[in-house]
């Protein structure tokens, strides 16, 4: 697992090209700080794709959990009646 480098947002603004190159070519992660608190991160496209995949998997599992907990389908005529209320 890559260790994140922390940097003040103002420093990153000055050296944005360097930050992007470090992330792109070394896979480093750069955490931007405001007032000494973590505010944002610059990560590689590979890391972003992994994060999005994890989010998709969690969303899919949540949907399966909802479906498993549902009582089943409702006939269309019954659904229309409930929606009119």
Q: Tokens 């089943």 map to which residue?
A: 72
Query: What CATH number belongs to 1-43?
Result: 3.40.1620
Per-domain boundaries in the chain: 1-43, 45-85
In this predicted structure, what is the pLDDT of residue 39? 98
Mean pLDDT in runs of 10 for the chain (85 residues)? 87 94 95 97 97 97 89 86 88
CB 30 within 8 A of CB 8: no
In this predicted structure, what is the pLDDT of residue 67? 85
In this predicted structure, what is the pLDDT of residue 85? 79
Q: What is the pTM of this model?
A: 0.71
């Amino acid at each position: 697992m890559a260790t994140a480098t922390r940097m003040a947002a103002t420093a990153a603004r000055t050296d944005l090209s360097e930050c992007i190159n470090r992330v792109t070519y070394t896979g480093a992660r750069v955490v931007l700080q405001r007032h000494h608190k973590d505010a944002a991160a610059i990560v590689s496209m590979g890391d972003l794709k992994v994060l999005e995949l994890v989010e998709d998997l969690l969303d899919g599992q949540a949907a399966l959990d909802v479906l498993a907990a549902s009582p089943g389908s409702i006939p269309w005529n019954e659904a229309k009646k409930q929606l009119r209320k």
